């Protein structure tokens, strides 16, 4: 049982706020430590597929999602140079009660933050954690101010460069995938259809869909290249670069790119899945550390599942902690439920042109890759997006 248990969550992102509300609803006393001085808009659009929407409904936030998001009617694969339709995934076939939404990341963060506060979660801003010591008698957090904290359970939802992940697993060794991505938001054309369009060409592809009631259009454009680019979303780029990269695409795509003002570029790096997702302190078995979301299994942006997997992690972690009084057993059950099957080796070989969704002009491969590979790490198939992994 979690009633009265003190839990500290690192990071006020999607994973951190979701797990904070899930734990607080089960009776825990939750504090979220966020290094920024405000919960600001980060990134742009994202897709909440049925598995993620099921978690939000289970958290009591389904109505808020319906207000903040735009219901999707389909996914279309389009030949980039000609604009010709390759295939369409019609979402009218979703089961009753399921939904697929396009949401601005800032709006999702806002509804999760409000939901966490409504559940009694305390969110402390300007609290940057610089160290985490896994002492035998429990974790010790060190803040940038020099303050040391000794919470009962620490949950690391602190992203790619997680302090909690490093404490559990040591340093990781990501590698550049030889792909970069531009991200931008532009005004949407009147009557923009609620469809995710994937425009594909040799060595590049572009995904776009409307946001905020169809007033904005989200754009993520990916290009294969050998030149290294820094990881992260904070690197500005000249909008001319993305226009040149896609100058051979259809007038529709070029028209979107001509509207770009602020353009952000980041290098896509592959990070290994963390070997250890949680550990109880040997000298104090009721205290320990766990990780979730990008801290546990960083994802590339091709499958629209990063936010959805973070939501699923949050639900499963909270449920296992509530169901199992032994922290070590609970954390082992959580990892067993969520972690992918072990890989034979790391790192895997660098991706080839034929192994990307936008590879070449082979329509059969592109259709198979999109339909087959948009699921979770363990299942990896379409039923993983139906919400069947969440029991409400």
The residues assigned a catalytic role are: 209
d(CA 367, CA 50): 20
Name 247's Cβ contacts closer than 8 Å, sequence gap at least 6: 254
Please tell me the distance from the alpha carbon of residue 213 to that of residue 366, in angstroms, as a whole number: 29
**Long-range pairs for 382-389: beta carbons < 8 A, 24 or more residues apart:** 384/51, 385/49, 385/50, 385/51, 385/305, 385/308, 386/50, 386/51, 386/94, 386/95, 386/98, 387/50, 387/51, 387/53, 387/54, 387/55, 387/98, 388/51, 389/51, 389/54, 389/312, 389/316
Of 298, 304, 353, residue with least CA distance to 89: 304
- Rounded Cα gap, residues 322 and 1, in angstroms: 5
The Cα 244–Cα 249 span in angstroms is: 10
Cα dihedral 266→380→110→54 (10° resolution): 170
Residue given tokens 């992203």 in the structure block: 159
Token pair recorded at residue 2: 């979690």
Q: Tell me the two tokens of residue 18.
A: 């979701």
**Cα–Cα dist 88/85, whole Å:** 8
What DSSP assignment string belongs to 263-315? Answer: -EEEEEEE-PPPS--EEEETTEEEEEEEE-GGGTS---TTSS-HHHHHHHHHH
Q: How far is Cα 176 from Cα 347, in angstroms, rounded to an integer?
A: 11
DSSP code of residue 120: T
Helices and strands in the chain: count of H runs, count of E runs: 10, 19
**Residues in Cβ contact with 69 at an 8 Å cutoff, skipping those fewer than 6 apart:** 48, 101, 102, 103, 107, 108
């Amino acid at each position: 049982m979690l009633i009265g248990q003190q839990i500290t969550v690192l990071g006020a992102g999607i994973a951190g706020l979701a797990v904070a509300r899930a734990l607080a609803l089960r009776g825990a006393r939750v504090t979220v430590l966020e290094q920024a001085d405000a919960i600001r808009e980060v990134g742009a659009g994202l897709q909440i597929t049925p598995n993620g929407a099921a978690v939000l409904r289970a958290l009591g936030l389904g109505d808020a999602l319906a207000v903040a998001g735009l219901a999707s009617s389909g996914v279309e694969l389009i030949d980039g140079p000609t604009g010709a339709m390759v295939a369409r995934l019609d979402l009218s076939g979703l089961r009753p009660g399921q939904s697929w939404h396009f949401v601005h990341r800032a709006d999702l963060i806002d509804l999760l933050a409000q939901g966490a506060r409504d559940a009694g979660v305390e969110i402390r801003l300007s609290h940057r954690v610089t160290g985490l010591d896994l002492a035998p008698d429990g974790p010790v957090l060190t803040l940038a101010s020099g303050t040391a904290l000794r919470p009962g359970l620490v949950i690391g939802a602190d992203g790619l460069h997680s302090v909690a992940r490093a404490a559990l697993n040591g340093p990781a060794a990501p590698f550049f995938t030889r792909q970069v991505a531009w991200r931008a938001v532009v005004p949407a054309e009147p009557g923009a259809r609620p469809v995710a369009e994937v425009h594909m060409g040799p060595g590049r592809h572009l995904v776009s869909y409307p946001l905020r009631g169809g007033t904005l259009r989200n754009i993520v454009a990916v290009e294969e290249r050998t030149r290294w680019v820094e990881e992260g979303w904070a690197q500005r780029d000249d909008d001319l670069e993305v226009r040149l990269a896609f100058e051979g695409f259809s007038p529709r795509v070029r028209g979107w790119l001509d509207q770009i003002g602020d353009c952000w570029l980041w290098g896509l790096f592959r990070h290994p899945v963390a070997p250890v997702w949680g550990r109880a302190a040997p000298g104090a078995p009721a205290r320990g550390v766990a990780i979730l979301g990008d801290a546990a299994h960083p994802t590339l942006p091709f499958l629209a599942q990063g936010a959805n997997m973070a939501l699923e992690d949050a639900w499963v972690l909270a449920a296992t902690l509530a169901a199992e009084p032994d922290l070590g057993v609970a954390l082992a059950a959580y990892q067993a439920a969520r972690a992918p099957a072990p890989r034979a080796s790391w790192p895997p070989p660098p991706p080839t042109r034929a192994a990307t969704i936008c590879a070449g002009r082979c329509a059969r491969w592109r259709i198979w890759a999109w339909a087959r590979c948009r699921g979770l790490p363990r299942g990896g198939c379409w039923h993983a997006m139906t919400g069947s992994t969440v029991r409400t």
